Amino acid sequence: MRPPDPTHRAAAASAPVDVVVIGHQDAAHVTDAVRSALAQGPTVGRVVAVDDGSSDGSPESLDRLAAREPRLTVLRLPTNSGGCGTPRNAGLDRVTAPYVMFLDSDDVLRPDAARVLLDAATEGDAQVAAGLCVRRELPSGREVPWQPELYTARTVIAHPSHRPRLVHDTVCVNKLYRTDFLRAHGIRFPDGPFRYEDIVFTARVLAAGPRLALVPDPVYVWHVRRSAKRLSISLDRATTDNWTSRTHACRTAHRVLRDAGRTELARAARAKFLDHELRMYVREPALRQTDRLRAWWDQTRAFLAEYEAADWDRSPGTPGGLIARVLLASPEPRDLPRLRALAARPARLLPPYARAPDGTPVWSRELPLVTLEGLLTRPVCALPLTVDAEVRLGPRSSRLSLRLHDLYDRVGAAAPRGIEIEWRSREDGHPVGAGATPLSPQADGTVWTGATDLDLAPLATRGTGTWDLRLRVLFRHGASREVLAHARETHRTPRRRALPDARHGVLLVQAYATHSGALALRLAPGPRGVAAAARRRLLRLAGR
């Protein structure tokens, strides 16, 4: 082993930022994470890598890297803690720099992230600096920003209560913290097998009332590996245990903010749960299983029963608020397809649109106490509009038909003119515009329809893939609303069609309904694409 270089040790000790990297059974990625921290240059002094009881060679890989890199310190926990909080706390205890950052073993820091955040913190005299986190879908590489609304410009916030939306960004890894601030307030992560520990950690930080600096620069890459054998905690949502952990973390975070007297932030956290956690889990395919659905329904109703009257004031007419009120009003699970559509982004409220005897909009005749008056005052650009879509595939031409539903007379009053059509690649987010179609009102005045030829060639040129249909309803006076097309019943049991194609010879196409009921297309061009699709189908059947 090469002896440590005293010059490097001294430079590391004087650097302003230490980075704590944690990992468990992640030998394939942990050294990449550590290298991204070391690559931050002189801004980062020490990187403290904490292995949480791995047996897959991770500690040995880290030791080999530490032998070549004097700035790297490796800690080995003898047994796995069952969560992320204990290793983060162990690393935090070793931090000696004025500032600290956190990094997970399967992610990476963007180049210069530490310097960007340090500059923001020092210039803004802030105890916390935060930048944009980007979720990178693998293997496609598609990047989706996390909570981009918070990171539109460089800004300094004197106190978290001035920006309640801060409770939405619960991850700890896109931020830089003053070490003495964390220690002065006793801010640590929950120890042991505590899932979603960063939700509680973030609440503890906000409860302490720091001055914050926000920058729009991407600083952290959150790798999303949906096909991994061992899913991350945030992706492993197939069991009610995960939901139990999530609600427990949200309940704890709310209590932290409430007990600290941060009433506005505590109520914002309640609203965040409705808009984020509740909507996300309602869309989960696992809830199609009756036993899991019933357990989830009962557990969620118990959690929502803890809300106070003031907690609901932030969510009048919002999708999450409406979903929550349906759950509270019905002891038995009900209306799951309609709830899934409402939980989608953008939200869709499917017909029928019922009214109480006095004309008040209500969820349904069976649940007349769940009123929808909030929809009467929301701007048309924020309404949960529904556009049914149907694709008819033919050997000579294909056709896309659309049907826009009125929503308690709001659509008719806004005078819809037409719909812009776009197909968006599921793999990389690439958009392909497909023009627009005018809308014509039907006789009863509650539906507007339009249709257009469907040209599959621009989609096929990008190879095998899945495409989501995105629509924008255009109204008089320039208003518009983005809509996720709702698949007609004909696509509930999808069939593949092999169509002739001038460029590829043959094109295998399938129009189908997604888990939330939206319309999507699967395309496989050419004989190779058709063969690959057939192999995937056989593998799925063999795995049943």
Tens-digit pLDDT string for the chain (544 aa): 344 455 445 455 568 999 999 999 999 999 999 999 999 999 999 999 999 999 999 999 999 999 999 999 999 999 999 999 999 999 999 999 999 999 999 999 999 999 999 999 999 999 999 999 999 888 888 888 999 999 999 999 999 999 999 999 999 999 999 999 999 999 999 999 999 999 999 999 999 999 999 999 999 999 987 665 554 555 565 678 889 999 999 999 999 999 999 999 999 999 999 999 999 999 988 787 888 899 999 999 999 999 999 999 877 779 999 999 999 999 999 999 999 999 999 999 999 999 999 999 999 999 999 999 999 999 999 999 999 999 999 888 899 999 999 999 999 999 999 999 999 998 888 899 888 999 999 988 899 999 999 999 899 988 899 999 999 999 998 999 999 999 998 887 778 899 888 788 889 999 999 888 999 999 999 876 555 555 555 444 444 4
Please tell me the distance from the alpha carbon of residue 276 to that of residue 273, in angstroms, as a whole number. 5
Residue type present at position 161: S
Distance, CA of 380 to CA of 342 (rounded, Å): 16
d(CA 475, CA 415): 6
pTM: 0.88
> Whole-angstrom Cα distance, residue 266 to residue 268?
5
Per the CB < 8 A criterion, the answer to whether 56 and 84 are in contact is: no
| Token pair in block for residue 142 | 């598609």
> By the 8 A CB rule, do 67 and 93 touch?
no
